[in-house]
Structure 1
């Protein structure tokens, strides 16, 4: 359940100012051994589980994987314990400790999440209350980033105005550089139909707009944008070109 942002004053840092973007995510069908290798290789302690649209489904943590490993050593419960136990709770525990994929192992219920306007103070308090090390940040139900304890510590060590201003200036400069590189490359490639296709850049995300003559042009533009340094994601928002199309485009 997403926590509402507390009104801590205009000078407070928000989750959007301190969160880590470009978070490593996994699909729900990811096998448990692959999850363990991912966490070990990347030196991270958890990975959000998302669907194809980026909606948050749950989180797989080191603790979840260790719980699964410990569960392999458990013996069947005796009849007395089975008589007093809750069947639904026991079934859920069994699935999490014996599951083969992220969807069964992950923590999914009662996740602590925040939105981009949640203050850093509220994030810190929520971490303490829920005893978690990180909070997924949601934008319209989709994962936008993660606020970790390390992110909050960096916010404490630097004055809010300085940190926020530096981040904003760096992001604006990166977006401007990407826009310039896109315009230059699209002008150099005649197949792009530059007079009918254009790109917008916000926070490192390239959104392609305009008309596309074919799927090949769409794919080519996506690859072109992905090659530019600093681009985090490319979103195709183009529409198919009309049947009656100016001859200069063809």
Structure 2
């Protein structure tokens, strides 16, 4: 089977295990169905997710020019505490920023390699947890805008990480934690502006990933250095493909790369 298109983060569907899909312009591929099969990935060209031009990808699937211009790459994306739409202040495109920032947001705890705090739109639960490879997660605060979620995350970062150790996540070097206890212990550190939105009645969400074999060590595939690779697909976790020879490939980290895929 042959497929061709620009890489974007895999779409997911909650299940036991989670279902993964690579979606191209005119086709899609259920990645779970090719576990234990040979998959060849060939880099063909760049295709910026905004302008569509064959320019080197800078960050988040965008060429350098687009990255510094498009509203979907504003600083408030990675640092939600910088959100200003609630003040009617524009960063790059106020209409877009109001649409995204002025909707319910969740501050959560997730365990993928360690317990971390994060922020996502309510509509992105549990997709965000799946993308991070979290095997368990829990909401701690639900607020009406991104700014309140951001300042809550900043306050909680003083007491636990906001980063995932992707190597530990991929080798499954993780342990179960009682996230309800963690949520309750962190309550006192929630900023006053967000304290009324604390959630105290929910339970952990558990996620199962389609992995037949975890790598003993991790060798990351970089299409700039190795534009053609072939291996046996053994698992999918987060936004990573895991191969039998310990190679892992970050689909989301390769957004904007136009590739050919061969399956046998």
* Pairwise same-fold verdict (TM > 0.5): no
Q: Which has the higher relative contact order, 1 or 2, with Cα contacts under 8 A spaced 6 or more apart?
A: 2
Report which of the two has the higher share of strand: 2
Measured against the shorter chain, the TM-score band is under 0.3
Which of the pair has more CA radius of gyration? 1
More helix by share: 1
